[in-house]
Structure 1
């Protein structure tokens, strides 16, 4: 089933059910999944159905304890899963300062005080009412039965103190290693009816509210200082001047958190002033949880390798191993010289490595150097390792300019054989023919005879006995069967950097539907086509000029016949296929369209002519988008009638 065809309504219902289930198990001390996994479900539901009631729901405790109303509402925070999401929030929340604290990964608890004496300890519950676990809380480290300052003077405070019940890694390893993680173990212990094990838990605080008299603090920083004065444990407070400093600090904390004895899963960002109205909302807007992700890590660059592919030298970062999405990662592309320069990367730099749903990791940013940090400049290769030519650094790429460089020529031959799909022509055979100078260009491939190929399949004794080789014959016939190809494949197979069949097809769809039109196109004309930019257009036009002579030689001599595409029945029409077809494979349907002069798209865009699906009444995202743009949705039978 096509990924885009998932019924969104069913998926929304499934997500809502899962979120409710995991919320309830979490708040009852039996958490089943990690925060990161829960956040993925939450973010997906938010993207599909932002107003879903489940997103406003907090949780529900069991009926094992007396129910108590909170003094301070315990809503859920807005979340930013990555720097881009945080910057989008910060754009509408411009503060003079950003106060940043650790987001503790434990279970929320409210301590209610009257004139400095602890009355109750209440769990988060549904955000308004929670369970009274006072007896258990009194055993916890960090919970104050009465409030005194450092001089042992009683503090007259009536109101609430909010914190997070945590279990340290040391305690978890020593007593509760059978539990999945510290958070789940803490959640279960704090709700035991007999209170056993609560002495192994610790409360770290971060919020307070006075309900009588004058507030003992005027802003968020003073609040943390007051909590410390009362003897409560707090996490570090960092004051950042701007959003970029927050992102930098987040990366630093990502690097050191593995050394902490307790779990944190992000940062909480607030403004300096205390906003009681905002804090009373189910989901406060003036603060945000800037989460860590399984898809990000901080590491140190140890060396840079230069990957050679065709003409291009691509820098690859080698860094200390990190875990991303459950896999061990040690390498990531640095793309090109310009990217390296803009990042300011050096050997010894601390890197933020990301893998957000991508197969290939990449370097997102470089952290500022710390005092004493040892770094050194990255050395760029100067000469081609094969032909010795001076490499050209254009910023967007570092490459060998010698068209006749053996490495470049062989790579082009490999690209041609692979893309044209001459299946029996193996890479080992191609390399041997190239080494013996029997194949030095694409044209040479089509000059090969079966007799020439025999020695590559039979030794001298075998040749004497049987003269012919079935293997040589198969390769020869395969070459002859691949003389008629599409224009898109023909151009892409010349191995112009960054130009594949899909990119060439975009140009064909834009009206450059012959070799002559492509060869005559200017950089400006190519750059105007969707999917091309100035740099790509420049590389493409230069690549065509470099290969023009052989392209024309192949086509004008009749060695290669380009499939006719102009004037077809579907010229100017575009199609997007979704779901399964009954009478053919999708690839065959797309080939029919291209042969008739039409084009195919992988997604629904405003300029699409038809969406083809056998489920025209589906509520899939593609169907909805097509309906929104007024694009006809046709079934397979109607599609075939077009031919």
Structure 2
């Protein structure tokens, strides 16, 4: 059987083997460790399948804090898949391996049968080149050495590099933000590395690169079409989502809602850009001087103003309905968790509660009136907290019967 596994003749993939006792009572007499219940068995891993390949080039991939070397080599078959790229992690790992340039002969595996990895350099050709400038913004790079481990990593010296804005772009496209389907953080990172995204407005111009997107590894023409369709759908922007999507410090969805309950979007932006008083919004219930100051300071930054005006050329602002249209949930605080069935998603259920004068929070506390969870018997932390605090747990059906439009 083991020979079948190592020869790839097993009818299903196997990455390890555990030998255990068939006497459960005897097994329980084994000693315990901090990680496993008992030393009642033995676990084995087969050696990872390896293949030899030749390096074509090293691609330098920019992330929020580092520039990571990625080996691109001649395709090889490993564990039933074609592999042609593997992260080299950092400069220290490249030096440990003795990495060279184009033509370097490599040994490649899929670690734990999943992650492509270079384990050995058989023959180094040419010289390992470290880029002097960032591949995204063109600013000088620097080698940073960790105080704790002496590991060397490459970093961009430009604090405004688009790659460092990855987390901000991720928030921008998120469900709570502009709700753009089909663009994950990983996808954003690739598009940034291609030089297509430097500002939020650039995200809405990705359709101009549809043909190039379709040619990328892991993408097809259909993927590019789906992204283009998602972008068009998101061009009509809810003002509350947009303010959250801008990644203004201290400004979450709830704060955005409170600001827009006092001013229209246009009035809010005009006042933030032109007011000499950073606490101009502090009189709004739930805002206070700290949040007001953060909001005003963001809009006083010339670069932020410029980026927003550029973005507004790509989208149409729709005013969110911040005022309640009913009172079925008035003065009540809800927490929503788990899957929903009657509403398209949890955000739609939350929007209904708010439209009926209710409040939705993210955690169960003494101020919570109801927890909504279709799995009322769940042992999740929220259900457990609700039971401990004697807070009613409602299924979606029970919520609709009590607070729904037909109630």
Instruction: Tell me which interval the TM-score lies in, with the shorter structure as reference length.
Output: 0.3 to 0.5
TM-score, structure 1 normalization? 0.31
Between 1 and 2, higher relative CO (CA 8 Å, sep ≥ 6) is seen in: 1
Max radius of gyration: which structure?
Answer: 1
TM-score, structure 2 normalization? 0.43
